[in-house]
Amino acid sequence: MKYFFSLFLFGLLFLSGCASLVSSPTTTEPPAKTTSEITISPESEKLFHQAAKAYGKGEHTKALELADNAISLDKNNYKALSLKGIIIAFDISPDEGISYIEKSLSISPDYTQAFYDMAMAQKLGKYYDSSTTYFKKVIAVDPKNAWSYYGIATNYSDKRDKENTLKYLKSAIHYGGADVISAASAQEHFDWLRNDADFLHLLRP
């Protein structure tokens, strides 16, 4: 189950102003398994889906409990580990959350949802360059992922890099349309550009 969109809808709350790697295998280690080759126990998988559903509803405490239960049944449930990581990143500590997402990626290095979760967690920690790197990993898999372009735009905006802010915001609007325009029109990330003619031009439908 992908929870990109529910995650970013919640992420919009933090983006408006909240407080505030996987190593390549050596020649002596077997190559990392792809996501499709990793088996998660059915009971653990079921609990993960319940956790993701609860998270999508904003029920973080319930989602975290279900994710923990999923992990207790199968320590290699990379999906539950990544979900636990992003919940902790939002609610407790970005750095602590990042550690769980790193563990998820150590099990399944090509898990796209974990790339997105990591991008968000790194952004929460104000590690903007790393966040951008992970958003770009999502885009490499899903070139039309509007919210990843948008996340990159906010990273560059927080760094006061107008050129790259507008570049990625333009792509976000191209793929996300009115929803992206609405978010960019309201969020504090872009306050320094409110009177900028180029920025205002992008926001015109």
73, 81, 108, 167, 177 from 195: Cα distances, Å = 54, 42, 44, 18, 21
Instruction: Dump pLDDT digits (tens) for 57-80.
Output: 999 999 999 999 999 999 999 999
Instruction: Dump pLDDT digits (tens) for 104-134.
Output: 999 999 999 999 999 999 999 999 999 999 9
Please list, residue by residue across 8-44, b when 16 or more beta carbons sit within 10 angstroms of its beta carbon and e when fewer do: bebbeeebeeeeeeeeeeeeeeeebeeeeebebeeeb
Contacts of residue 92, defined as CB under 8 A and 6 or more positions apart, other chains included, come to: none
Structure tokens belonging to residue 124 = 């929460």
Amino acid at 72: S
Please tell me the pTM assigned to this model.
0.84
Min mean pLDDT across 3-17, 37-51, 84-98, 132-146 is at 3-17
Of 75, 78, 122, 77, residue with least CA distance to 98:
122
Amino acid at 36: S
Q: Which 8-state DSSP code applies to residue 37?
A: G
